[in-house]
């Protein structure tokens, strides 16, 4: 009588192993991917003054340029998410990073603003496709006990890359002009591509979900920890399986309500993040403070967001993720209201609190989306949430101008901005209640 084939649950096996150097390599490579993503996303903002001088363009044309990049990010996220759930995380990452690297190089040679707008949209397509894949790949190699924290650590590469854009622009532009910044933004990802091809593994959970040969799955897992396998070993994933395309799976029973609630969170959260990123210094200066003070307070907001991401990610691994995020968004709404009435040092504290709670929670929401959806639709779930969130980012960029033009009081202005934070808090809390009721969260990731 033949003995039954040994069966290994990959999710449970990963949870039982110490975090290996191989898994740290995955986190580091994904960190580098989102760092170059952040650089190419933010660099156009640093070259904007030079563009205005050289091409004699106004703020409205510059707004179109910024909007083209955001539009590309949104479309890229919507397109490349389902593709990655069909062909794999690694293939999509390599393709999208190479894509936005080439597009950035082409943008450096733009003959005029029309061509640059078109090429920034094309660059955004690749940028929008790379980020959700990096989030998913990191999440799929992390054990449950550290998943949220390590995913947020990886995503901090985006903030670092965005800041690097300012440093590089300051060094290159005086001697080489604005085109050199875009060239740098094209070379970086193209240098990273062969490194990814050689060192970046495919998601082992994706391989199991797509029924890769056991020998390939076992060989990959052995790079994490010793694993006795033979030709009869079967690898499985203990998670919910939904039928249909990855996009249809987002609306399967048990996920439909959660998907819509997550989209609400991302829309409201990114509305606030982009409103403050683009308009906070201007709003504070409009309230009577100097530009120097307003700029320093803007930096405090970014620092608060980075620290908040790490703390919130750690708390999400220890407590219910939706409870942590719901509390953080609600506290962020209070800090926004405080920003409207605070003065002096208290204003800096309030703005830091806003960054900690709102920007930090947005990064935490990325990690939660990676936990919420099963392997077969994970990248689609993350990318579509980010894509819907990009609509919020566009609204936020426009909303700041509307608020400024309305000439309303500083305190009332920030009370209005606190409303989306309160909605995000309620939506993520409701998502947690719905998930617990249908008992799906414990079955996915």
Query: CA-CA distance, 152 to 142, in Å (whole number)?
Result: 12
Question: DSSP assignment, residue 2?
Answer: P
Query: What mean pLDDT comes out for the span 199-211?
Result: 93
**Span 145-164, pLDDT tens digits:** 889 999 999 988 888 888 78
Query: What mean pLDDT comes out for the span 383-409?
Result: 81
Helix, strand, or coil (residue 227):
coil
Query: CA-CA distance, 398 to 7, in Å (whole number)?
Result: 54
Question: Hunting for tokens 């593709």 — which residue is that?
Answer: 83
Helix, strand, or coil (residue 235):
strand
The predicted pLDDT at position 445 comes to 40
Query: What mean pLDDT comes out for the span 410-428?
Result: 93
Q: CA nearest 424: which of 352, 359, 341?
A: 359
The predicted pLDDT at position 183 comes to 95
Question: DSSP assignment, residue 202?
Answer: P
The predicted pLDDT at position 241 comes to 67
Q: CA nearest 313: which of 436, 204, 156?
A: 156
* Range in 260-264, 381-385, 434-438 with the lowest mean pLDDT: 434-438
First to last CA, the chain: 37
More reliable by pLDDT, 166 or 387: 387
**DSSP letter for each residue of 91-141:** HHHHHHHHHHHHHHHHHHT-SSHHHHHHHHHHHHHHHHHHHHHHHHHHHHT
Question: Which residues lie below 8 Å from residue 138, measured CB to CB, with a gap of 6+?
Answer: 26, 27, 30, 150, 151, 154, 370
The predicted pLDDT at position 31 comes to 95
User: In angstroms, what CA-CA distances link 15 with 18, 19, 136, 151, 308?
Assistant: 8, 9, 17, 15, 26
Q: Please work out, in degrees rounded to the nearest 5, the angle formed at the alpha carbon of residue 425 by the alpha carbons of 408 and 401.
A: 25
Calculate the average pLDDT of the chain.
88
**Span 3-38, pLDDT tens digits:** 556 888 998 999 999 999 999 999 999 999 999 998
The predicted pLDDT at position 291 comes to 63
Query: CA-CA distance, 385 to 431, in Å (whole number)?
Result: 14
pTM for the model stands at 0.86
Q: Is the dihedral of CA 278, 280, 285, 291 positive or negative?
A: negative
Q: Is the pLDDT of residue 444 over 50?
A: no
Q: Which domains does the chain have, with CATH numbers?
A: 10-208 (1.20.1250.20), 246-443 (1.20.1250.20)
The predicted pLDDT at position 87 comes to 93
The predicted pLDDT at position 187 comes to 96
Number of DSSP helices (H) and strands (E) in the chain, helices first = 17, 2
């Amino acid at each position: 009588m033949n003995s039954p084939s040994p069966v290994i649950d990959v999710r449970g096996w990963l949870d039982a192993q110490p975090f290996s150097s191989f898994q740290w390599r995955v986190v580091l490579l994904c960190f580098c991917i989102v760092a170059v993503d952040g650089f190419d996303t933010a660099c156009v903002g640093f070259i904007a003054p030079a563009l205005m001088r050289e091409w004699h363009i106004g703020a409205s044309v510059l707004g179109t340029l910024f909007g083209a990049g955001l539009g590309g990010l949104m479309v890229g996220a919507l397109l490349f998410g389902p593709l990655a759930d069909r062909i794999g995380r690694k293939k999509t990452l390599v393709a999208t990073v190479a894509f936005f690297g080439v597009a950035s190089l082409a943008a450096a040679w733009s003959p005029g603003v029309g061509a640059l707008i078109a090429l920034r949209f094309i660059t955004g397509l690749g940028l929008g496709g790379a980020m959700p894949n990096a989030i998913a790949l990191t999440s799929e190699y992390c054990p449950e006990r550290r998943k949220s924290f390590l995913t947020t650590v990886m995503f901090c590469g985006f903030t670092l890359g965005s800041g690097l854009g300012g440093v590089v622009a300051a060094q290159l532009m005086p001697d080489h002009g604005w085109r050199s910044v875009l060239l740098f933004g094209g070379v970086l990802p193209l240098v990273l591509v062969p490194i990814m091809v050689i060192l970046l593994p495919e998601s082992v959970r994706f391989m199991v979900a797509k029924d890769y040969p056991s020998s390939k799955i076992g060989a990959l897992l052995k790079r994490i920890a010793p694993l006795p396998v033979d030709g009869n070993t079967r690898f499985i994933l203990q998670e919910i399986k939904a039928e249909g395309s990855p996009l249809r799976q987002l609306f399967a029973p048990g996920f439909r309500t959660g998907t819509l609630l997550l989209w609400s969170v991302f829309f409201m959260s990114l509305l606030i993040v982009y409103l403050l990123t683009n308009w906070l210094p201007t709003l504070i200066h409009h309230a009577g403070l100097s530009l120097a003070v307003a700029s320093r307070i803007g930096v405090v907001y970014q620092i608060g967001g980075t620290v908040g991401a790490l703390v919130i990610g750690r708390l999400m691994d220890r407590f219910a993720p939706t409870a942590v995020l719901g509390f953080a968004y609600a506290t962020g709404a209070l800090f926004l209201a405080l920003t409207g009435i605070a003065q002096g040092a208290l204003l800096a504290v309030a703005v830091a609190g806003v960054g900690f709670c709102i920007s930090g929670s947005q990064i935490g929401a990325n990690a939660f989306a990676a936990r919420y959806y099963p392997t077969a639709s994970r990248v689609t779930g993350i990318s579509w949430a980010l894509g819907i969130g990009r609509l919020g980012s566009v609204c936020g960029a426009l909303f700041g101008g509307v608020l400024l033009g309305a000439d309303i009081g500083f305190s009332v202005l920030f009370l209005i901005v606190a409303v989306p934070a309160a909605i995000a808090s309620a939506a993520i809390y409701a998502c947690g209640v719905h998930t617990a009721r249908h008992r799906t969260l414990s079955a996915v990731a």
